[in-house]
Structure 1
Amino acid sequence: MSDVMITKAKRATQYIFLVCGLALSSWAPLVPLAKDRLQVNEAELGLLLLLLGGGALVTMPLSGFFISRAGTRKVILASVLLTAFLLPCLLVIANVYLMGIAVFAFGCGIGTIDVAMNSHGVQVQNAYKKPIMSSLHGLFSVGGLLGSIGLGFLIKAGLDPLFAAVAISAVLIALLAFQFRNLLDYTSEKEITRKFSHINEDEAVTSRLQWLNVSVLLLGVMCFIAFLSEGAVLDWSAILLRDHKNVSAEFSGMGYAAFSVAMAVMRLAGDSLISKLNSKTVVVGGSLIAAAGIVILVFSPWIAGFLAGFILLGIGAANIVPVFFSEGGRIKGLSPAVTIPVISTMGYAGQLAGPALLGFIAHHFSLNLAFEIIALLFVIVAVLYTFRK
């Protein structure tokens, strides 16, 4: 493969990460509209939201099967088109059962994009021979900010919500069409797999049955912890600030905003950081910084301390998961089509389980203790990564 092809594939992959973040976050402003239209209570709405995560979780392990047979480019095409088609549907379906099916299918599309784009990203990174995964995840974060703000802005500006959703879907399809031909094709991916995973085509078939690899499972466990922590901060940070730090309700979201901005900035700068340091320094140091941020957040009596804690948490946690995906794409004897779905599934399971586990701990003990346990989990990640082979 030529350097020009690899550079184009890198840029195309950046757009796909942006597309995934944009698609997922565009659902957030639609949730209140769906609740009103379907006339469901909070518990029923919670089940609908759970179906989105369930759809992603079900599809992620299956994505490797499709990737290994068709390549990530075709899987990305199908899943983005499915997601773009379903997004406006989430605004018009009035039957709660049909809505459940649509939300589940939307989650399937998002989960498949997630696995395919990460698998494609590690292939491009291997061929590019420089770290790129952190900036890719940074663009996912940028897409998340644009989606949640953009769709809401269009609706606030007076555009009919359905037309606003159609406009976002059109942007998703346009970005895909603009860069689709620059994504790696199936043949190029097989060539990179043979070169960097040290397996031939026959061994690749067998290796799909060998995902119970110690290195894969260890990365999956650490990814589970990292995603669990991120999911818990997403769902519980505002409650912590409002109910335990006496921050007014209208400002209770500032903690997660500070965390998100810090994480996005650090991920965009993460490739350069990893190149100058190394993966171990980034993961171990980042985990300890994140843990320190939580300690400051829990014990500080001042608003400046709360914000500093969330910022340190975002800085520390930002590049941990991208490193795990990079490591998963370089395990000898295993194709990324095997390793990335496993790591993604375990990570996403942590993101779904995190809020529930923290809620259980907060109910029986305290929310402060729940956040202290997150700090402990980050320390565990640092220890596991330090001593991994």
Structure 2
Amino acid sequence: MTASVLPHVSATGTTEIRATRLLFLIVGFGVAAWAPLVPLVKVRAGLDDGTLGLLLLCLGIGSLAAMPVAGALAGRFGTRPVLAAAVLVTGAALVVLSRAGGLPVLAAALTGLGIGLGLLDCLMNLQAVAVERRAERPMMSGFHGLYSLGCILGAAGFSALLSLGLTPAAAALAVVAAIAAAFLAALPGILPALGGESHGPAFARPRGPVLRIGLLCFVVFLTEGSALDWSGVFLIQERGLDPARAGLGYAAFSLTMTVGRLTGDAFVRRIGRRRIVVLGALLAAGGLGLAITVPLWPVTLLGYALVGAGCANIVPVLFTAAGRQDAVPAALAIPAVTTLGYAGVLAGPAAIGLLAHATSLTLAFLVVAALLLAVAVGARRLRT
């Protein structure tokens, strides 16, 4: 990416760095606030599992529709107005989801939540690329660590509010108020022109280095999705763990990923971005192999912890690489890479389920491990 594409960041950068961290926290909060509402929506609307699954697709549809055009919208209307609209849509959607019981309203609100979070996701990464570039030191892992921390705090906070007796609507309003306060605090440090030039295509078909980076992101996000959706099933089905403890696999994964990201910038400075991707992919593949080959559930948990540690800093490094390549402007490259990565979250777990149905869950996870080895090989061509 050429220097002319990057917006100017102040010499100190303190305000911009703080704003970037708050944006990542906001997205983590928004994502996490939806998770405790899912079972409540299911009961309130009287949905069976199949209908709920179709409803959940609306979140992905909204995000995939918004992500490719986020940079172009910021270039045309300005970053702050687009982010403000995204926060407004996200907050309104969460409030509606906490109250609505009709399927059409729920579908529209969940699509809106996807649109808001999709725009926020792309623009926070564009801001992070610009701030990191100006600071001339690795910062992306720490930014993504704040997203992971926001997910943990958001889910725990929302659940705590519900346990204190607040209604879902009141809890949602509290979360939306926290998001609005964080956005207002971030506003002075949000760069006014992340999108670059306002003319040109609204989005670009990934090609060259952007396509390679996007495919690497696809695999890593697929791995994260498999841990979220299938680790509990594997622990119950293959390790005989009690269902009440099945969430320990994803908890182990999330803990090491969050810690890895919050401390990852120091490792990036020490060993370099390319080695982070290679070693991280190898560690994640080894952890997954350990989880599925040793028939002891504590070892399976250790394996998932290694997967989280290995994956932790790969995506932040890949976003930095997408911002630094010069084949496609950053305002188009970041949304393209984000979209490909998010497609891995959506399509990956479904593909694992189909493969597990045709063969076994163990074999499906072996395929994921093999894809992680391919990431390690592909990282050799990564321009850092």
Indicate which of 76, 90, 97 corresponds to 2:97: 90
Note closer, same or farther for the CA distance 1:381–1:68 as it changes in structure 2 (3 Å cut): same
Distance in 1 separating the partners of 2:347 and 2:206: 22
Q: In the TM superposition, what is the alpha-carbon distance from 1:40 to its structure 2 partner?
A: 1.1
Distance in 2 separating the partners of 1:253 and 1:168: 24
Distance in 2 separating the partners of 1:226 and 1:99: 30
Distance in 1 separating the partners of 2:157 and 2:132: 30
Distance in 2 separating the partners of 1:48 and 1:210: 29
Q: In the TM superposition, what is the alpha-carbon distance from 1:386 to its structure 2 partner?
A: 1.2
Instruction: Tell me the residue number matched to 1:125.
Output: 132
Indicate which of 241, 252, 255 corresponds to 1:261: 255
Note closer, same or farther for the CA distance 1:9–1:100 as it changes in structure 2 (3 Å cut): same
Instruction: Tell me the residue number matched to 1:159.
Output: 166
* Farther-moved stretch of structure 1 (143-152 vs 206-215): 206-215
Q: In the TM superposition, what is the alpha-carbon distance from 1:207 to its structure 2 partner?
A: 7.8
Q: Structure 1, unaligned stretches of length 5 or more?
A: 194-200
Distance in 2 separating the partners of 1:263 and 1:314: 4
Q: In the TM superposition, what is the alpha-carbon distance from 1:365 to its structure 2 partner?
A: 0.3
**1:58-88 CA distances to partner (integer Å, 9 max, x unpaired)?**
1111212202223433322210121012211
Matching of residue 342 in structure 1 with residue 349 in structure 2: no
Aligned length: 375
Q: In the TM superposition, what is the alpha-carbon distance from 1:335 to its structure 2 partner?
A: 2.5
Instruction: Tell me the residue number matched to 1:198.
Output: none
Instruction: Tell me the residue number matched to 1:280.
Output: 274
Note closer, same or farther for the CA distance 1:210–1:92 as it changes in structure 2 (3 Å cut): closer
Distance in 2 separating the partners of 1:114 and 1:371: 28
Indicate which of 2, 6, 12 corresponds to 2:10: 2
Contact 1:29 1:152 in 2 (8 A): yes
Q: TM-score, normalised by structure 1?
A: 0.93
Instruction: Tell me the residue number matched to 1:170.
Output: 177
**1:251-270 CA distances to partner (integer Å, 9 max, x unpaired)?**
11101000000000000011
Distance in 2 separating the partners of 1:32 and 1:362: 26
Q: CA RMSD in A?
A: 1.6
Code of the aligned partner of 1:2: S
Indicate which of 106, 113, 136 corresponds to 2:120: 113
Matches within 5 A, 1:278-317: 278-317=272-311
Indicate which of 110, 115, 121 corresponds to 1:103: 110
Contact 2:239 2:295 in 1 (8 A): yes
**1:203-236 CA distances to partner (integer Å, 9 max, x unpaired)?**
x845877654301110011111111111111100
Code of the aligned partner of 1:273: F
Contact 1:259 1:313 in 2 (8 A): yes
Matching of residue 19 in structure 1 with residue 26 in structure 2: yes
Note closer, same or farther for the CA distance 1:212–1:312 as it changes in structure 2 (3 Å cut): closer
Indicate which of 80, 84, 91 corresponds to 2:87: 80
Q: In the TM superposition, what is the alpha-carbon distance from 1:51 to its structure 2 partner?
A: 0.8
Q: TM-score, normalised by structure 2?
A: 0.94
2:99 is paired with a residue whose SS is coil
Instruction: Tell me the residue number matched to 2:63.
Output: 56
**1:80-116 CA distances to partner (integer Å, 9 max, x unpaired)?**
1210122111011121111111111111111111011
Distance in 2 separating the partners of 1:84 and 1:371: 36
Code of the aligned partner of 2:170: F
**1:290-313 CA distances to partner (integer Å, 9 max, x unpaired)?**
000011100112232112101110
Note closer, same or farther for the CA distance 1:375–1:52 as it changes in structure 2 (3 Å cut): same
Matching of residue 142 in structure 1 with residue 136 in structure 2: no
Instruction: Tell me the residue number matched to 1:351.
Output: 345
Q: In the TM superposition, what is the alpha-carbon distance from 1:284 to its structure 2 partner?
A: 0.3
Code of the aligned partner of 2:71: G
Distance in 2 separating the partners of 1:129 and 1:247: 47
Q: Structure 2, unaligned stretches of length 5 or more?
A: 1-8
1:2 is paired with a residue whose SS is coil
Code of the aligned partner of 1:245: R
**1:279-336 CA distances to partner (integer Å, 9 max, x unpaired)?**
1110000000000001110011223211210111011000001111000111125322
Instruction: Tell me the residue number matched to 1:197.
Output: none
Task: Give the share of equivalent positions with the same residue, in percent.
Answer: 39
Distance in 1 separating the partners of 2:33 and 2:56: 14
Q: In the TM superposition, what is the alpha-carbon distance from 1:356 to its structure 2 partner?
A: 0.5
